[in-house]
Structure 1
Amino acid sequence: MHISVQKKIRIGFFIAFTIIVVASVVSYVIARNLMHNADRLSHAVEVSKRLDAITRYLKDAEAAIRGYNLTKEQAFLNPSMEERSIKIENEYRKLRRIIDDPVQQRNLDTLKRLLDVKYMQLTAGQEKNASTATIQEAEVSMDRIDAKVEQMILIEQAQLNEKTRMFHFFSGLSIPVVFVISLIAILIGIYSYVTLTREFRLQLHIETRMKSYQRELQENITLLNKTNKELEQFAYIASHDLQEPLRKISTFSDRLLTKHRNELPDEAGQLIDRMVAAVGRMRVLINDLLVFSRAGRITPESLVPIDLNEILQDVIGDLEVSLQEKKGSILFDQLPVIEGSDTGFHQLFLNLLSNSIKFAHPDRPLEIRIRRELITGREAGMASEKKWGDTYCRISFEDNGIGFDQVYADRIFLLFQRLHGVSEYKGTGIGLAICKKIVDSHNGYISAFGTAGEGSTFVIVLPVKQKSDD
């Protein structure tokens, strides 16, 4: 299945965006873990430093008490136990502020009780009559404090080790992840470069071919316009050149029949009559060809609002005698005003009504019904979506004539196509071709529906407004 370049670009953008998101998440997790690990390390160092300070202050105080008890010198009590206690209390408060772990907070509470007991022991030890039992109790209390401090340090170290393991895990994971992401990004970049380069070259090739086609098309259009003008000139000159010998043949035939009719054998007179009839048909054919060559030739200046009711009334007036011969009648709806060529619409209506009159049924009076309906481009079956909202007029010419077989519905609009012989119905087979040419030139279409022996219907669909982009 072929995937368009636009879809490839969207897929590539989606993959690149996903890679960026994944890389950002991985980077964020690693950075966050690193910051937590750094914070935990700093926290552990700070807690250890405060605990060491408390232990050091206690041991200094205990050493001072021992020195005093041995020497009884007051110098060992400087600074005093109260001052030493204040320092220890400050360190403890700092610990309380930085520790938020519930287990460590409970250990701090225990440490506080041990410190209070130790402080009372130190106060009692600085008295001159301090007993050996008091000194031993102080040593036991110090061992408990050392054990609690060591327990707290171990907890901090365990937490630090856990954070370190998580950091190492994410750090080890980040290397292959970043490598894979980078590899995918490189591959996407290479693929995008190759695809865009190929598309750019293809676009340049298409533009070059399009320019070449446009030049050829313009040359062909110019040549076609020149050929059409030459054909029009040829048709006009040829028709006039052909009319002259036809007139001479007709004139000489009339003189021959007028002056020597009685002298000619009957068979010769009949041949001359048939020759005159053939000349008449030839003259009609030439005139119809001229009309066909000129039909549908419209310019923007010739497109004006046309009241189709006036056109229809003029055509009915022209066909009044023919209608009376067929005992025919025409019923019609009120027709709209649409843009088009006055001459073209007159020729269109004249040919359609003449066709109905020509092929009237011999056993019943002719009835012609003209209906109209305003529809949208979508209802009219316009292929281009931009025309679906335009307004169109559908006009149907329905008669009760001899009709035709539906299999010939497309054939009757071709040039020189006849469903009946010349001896049965007069005509050159050009009238309906002229109708189609006029409708096509007005950006519409014409169709026919018939039933042999019952009648026929011709439907034309024309835009109410002729647009310049059409």
Structure 2
Amino acid sequence: MHIPVQKKVRLGFFIACTVVIAASICSYLVTKKLLDNAKWMNHTIEVSKRLEVITRQLKDAESAIRGYNITKDTSFLEPSMQKRSIKIEEQYLILRRVTADNPQQQLHLDTLKSLLDKKYRQLMEGEQQKTSLQKDTSAVQQGEKSMSKIERKVQDMMLIEEAHLHQKSELYDFFSAIWVPVIFISSLVAILIGIYSYITLTREFRLQLHIETRLKSYQRNLQQNILLLNKSNEELEQFAYVASHDLQEPLRKISTFSDRLQLKYGEQLPPEASQMLDRMVSAVSRMRVLINDLLLFSRAGRITPESITPVDMDTLLQEVISDLEVSLQEHNASVTAGPLPVIEGSATSFHQLFQNILANAIKFAHPDRQLVINITSQVLKGKELENLINENRAEDTFCRIYIEDNGIGFDPVYAERIFQLFQRLHGMSEYSGTGIGLAICKKIVDSHHGQIMAYGDPGKGAAFVVILPLTQTQQNDSN
């Protein structure tokens, strides 16, 4: 099964994004754990440093007291025990602040505080002591015991910090262990996706170049075919004009000679010969009508930019009705027309369009009732025409013209056939005509980038719908 390139690119982009997100999350977690581990390491170092300072200062103070008691040299008491205790208190307060988020350490600090207070009293007593050697020995022993308790408490606090640090280190080691494989795998996947995307896009680019080359070739061939077709159409139009013009001459001669024959020898001809001569004159008349209609068809729909002008359809329709006044009176027909807009196009072609449609309605009038022709119109956007117009013309403005009559109508199965050349739904003996009139109408509408449709109801009437754009400039530019 062939997967479109767009889906492949989307899938690759999704996988790459997933890999990048996963790698980013893993990197974030590892970095976070690394920062936490560094934070706890700094925290442990800070606690250890403060405890070490407290212990060292206590030992220094105790040594100073012993030296003083042995030598009675007051220089050992500088700085004084009060100043030393202030420094110890400062370190203790820093410890309080550093371990504020650890309730267990806070409890140890409470105990340490009581031990420090006790030790401070001992130091103060030692500073002021002037007793015997026995009492001095007793004070030393008590000081050592007190110092041992403080050291144990300090050791307990250090064990807690080390335990926390060890726990953080284990998590860091775990994330570090999975971080390297994840980054390696994600990088490998990203590289593979990049290589695959490059190959796919290169292949698609080459395919597009090939398609563009073929399209340019087709366009050149199409342009050549269009030029050949236009040339062929011009030659056919010229041939039709010349043929129709050249055929007129022998027809005129046949008509002239048949007229002279009837005038000069008409009374002498037997009835059968007179009948044959009448048939020949009728055939010549039909041939002349057919040639004229073919000439009209060859010229119909030939539009040049110079021939396109704004046409007042109301005025044009009145002119057509005036031209058909005699035929309308003969059939006692009435024409009702609503307001029509101004439409750009060829006035001559529009005149021929309406004249052929109205003449067609008059010709196929119902013999048992008065002929009534109704003409109405609507101005609509292309998107409102129910898929009758291309999507690129959806915003263009069109006029939809209805021409309805109550004539004999026709079977709906012939709705498309009646616009074909030489197509007749009735015999020559029933209705005259060459079957070219509606073909001319379709050619005119097509040349104006519109549409024409027919709807019939046998015995009830017919309706012709003509759709024309209000302006021709946009249509010509788009085609």
The structure 1 residue matched to 2:249, chosen from 234, 238, 244, is: 244
Q: Could you give the per-residue CA deviations for residues 292-345 of structure 1, whole angstroms, max 9, x where no partner exists?
A: 111111122211111112222222222122222222222222222211111011
Q: Distance in 1 between matches of 2:405 and 2:161?
A: 106
- 2:391 counterpart letter in structure 1: E
SS in 1 for 2:477: coil
Distance 2:44 2:447 in 1: 93
Aligned residue identity for 2:105: Q
Is the Cα contact below 8 Å between 2:400 and 2:466 reproduced in 1?
Answer: yes
1:469 corresponds to 2:477 = yes
Aligned partner of 1:26 in structure 2 is 26
Aligned to 2:171: 166
2:201 match = 196
1:128 equivalent to 2:130? Answer: yes
CA–CA distance in structure 2, aligned partners of residues 318 and 91 of structure 1: 119
Which runs of 5 or more residues in structure 1 are unaligned? none
Range with greater deviation from structure 2 (234-243 or 130-139)? 130-139
Aligned residue number for residue 111 of structure 1: 112
Contact 1:67 1:76 in 2 (8 A): no
In the alignment, which residue of structure 2 is the partner of 1:140? 145
Q: C-alpha displacement at 1:236, in angstroms?
A: 0.9
In the other structure, the counterpart of 2:445 is 439
Distance in 2 between residues matched to 1:387 and 1:192, nearest whole Å: 38
Residue by residue over 1:21-40, the C-alpha shift from the partner in whole angstroms, topping out at 9 and shown as x without a partner, is 33333222212221221221
Residues 93 and 327 (structure 1 numbering): CA distance in 2 closer, same or farther, change over 3 Å? closer
**Per-residue deviation at 1:355?**
0.7
Give the counterpart letter for 1:394 in structure 2: R
Which deviates further from its counterpart, 40-49 or 408-417?
Answer: 40-49
Query: Which residue number corresponds to residue 286 of structure 2?
Result: 281
CA offset at residue 235 of structure 1? Answer: 0.8
- Provide structure 2 residue ranges, at least 5 long, that are not aligned to the other structure: none
Letter in 1 for 2:112: L
Number of residue pairs matched?
469
Deviation of 1:68 after TM superposition, in Å, equals 5.0
Alignment of 1:288-307 (within 5 A): 288-307=293-312
CA–CA separation in structure 2 for the residues paired with 1:122 and 1:452: 131
- 2:325 aligned residue: 320
d(CA) in 2 for partners of 1:309 and 1:72? Answer: 136
Residue of structure 2 in register with 1:74 after alignment? 73
Residues 91 and 329 (structure 1), Cα distance of their counterparts in 2 relative to 1, 3 Å cut = closer
Amino acid of the structure 1 residue aligned with 2:381? T
Q: Normalising to structure 1: TM-score of the pair? A: 0.93
Question: Residues 66-116 of structure 1: CA distance to partner in whole angstroms, max 9, x if unpaired?
Answer: 4555x4452783545515444434433443343333322332232122112
Aligned to 1:360, the other structure's residue is in SS state coil
Kept after mapping to 2: 8 A contact 1:333/1:371: yes
Per-residue CA deviations over 1:142-172 (Å, capped at 9, x if unaligned) read: 1210110000110110111011111111111
Change (3 A) 1:68 1:329: closer
User: What does 1:40-55 align with in structure 2 at a 5 Å threshold?
Assistant: 40-55=40-55
Determine whether 1:350 maps to 2:355. yes
| Stretch deviating more after TM superposition (184-193 or 131-140) | 131-140
1:356-388 residue CA offsets vs partner (Å, 9 max, x unmatched): 111112222222222222233222234433433
Specify the code of the residue in structure 1 equivalent to 2:159: L
SS of residue matched to 1:284: helix
Could you tell me which amino acid in structure 1 is paired with residue 56 of structure 2?
Answer: R
Q: In 2, Cα distance between the equivalents of 1:164 and 1:14?
A: 35
TM-score where L is the length of structure 2:
0.91
Is this contact kept in 1: 2:338–2:376, CA < 8 A? yes
**Is the 8 Å Cα contact of residues 65 and 76 (structure 1) preserved in structure 2?**
no
- Post-superposition shift, 1:457? 1.4
SS of residue in 2 equivalent to 1:217: helix
Helix, strand or coil at the partner of 2:374: strand
| Deviation sequence 1:2-51 (CA, Å, 0-9, x none) | 65544544444444344333333322221222122122112212322332
Against the structure 1 CA distance between its residues 379 and 45, is the aligned structure 2 distance closer, same or farther, given a 3 Å change threshold? closer
Give how far 1:282 is off. 1.0
Aligned to 1:426: 432
The alignment partner of 1:427 has SS state of coil
CA drift of 1:279 comes to 1.3
Distance 2:196 2:399 in 1: 54
Structure 2 residue corresponding to 1:454, chosen from 438, 460, 472: 460
1:187-228: CA deviation from partner (whole Å, max 9, x where unpaired): 221221122111111111111011111111111111111111
How far off is 1:131 after superposition? Answer: 4.5
Match of 1:223 among 211, 220, 228: 228
Return the letter of the residue paired with 2:44: A
Residue 389 (structure 1) aligns with: 395
Partner of 1:38: 38
Change (3 A) 1:255 1:187: same
Instruction: Give the Å deviation of 1:174.
Output: 1.0
Cα distance, 1:118 vs structure 2: 1.0
Go from structure 1 to structure 2 and tell me whether the alpha carbon gap of 1:348 and 1:138 turns closer, same or farther (over 3 Å shift).
same
Moved more, 220-229 or 34-43: 34-43
Cα separation, 2, equivalents of 1:122 and 1:94: 22
> Please, what is the CA RMSD of the aligned residues?
2.2
CA distance in 1, matches of 2:87, 2:455: 115
In structure 1, C-alpha distance between the alignment counterparts of 2:80 and 2:338, rounded to whole Å: 123
Name the counterpart of 2:91.
Answer: 91
Matches of 1:76 and 1:464, distance apart in 2:
117
CA drift of 1:290 comes to 0.7
Question: Which stretch shows the higher mean deviation, 343-352 or 60-69?
Answer: 60-69
Q: Secondary structure at the match of 2:122?
A: helix
Post-superposition Cα deviations, 1:414-458, rounded to whole Å, max 9, x if no partner, equal 100001111111100000111111111112111111122222111
> In the alignment, what sits opposite 2:342?
337
Q: Which residue of 1 aligns with 2:364?
A: 359
Residues 300 and 440, structure 2, Cα contact 8 Å, conserved in 1? yes
Change (3 A) 1:80 1:320: closer
Query: What is the SS of the residue equivalent to 2:426?
Result: coil
CA distance in 2, matches of 1:450, 1:80: 125
Task: Please state whether the residue corresponding to 1:469 is helix, strand or coil.
Answer: helix
Q: Percent identity?
A: 62
Is contact 2:362-2:371 (8 Å) kept? Answer: yes
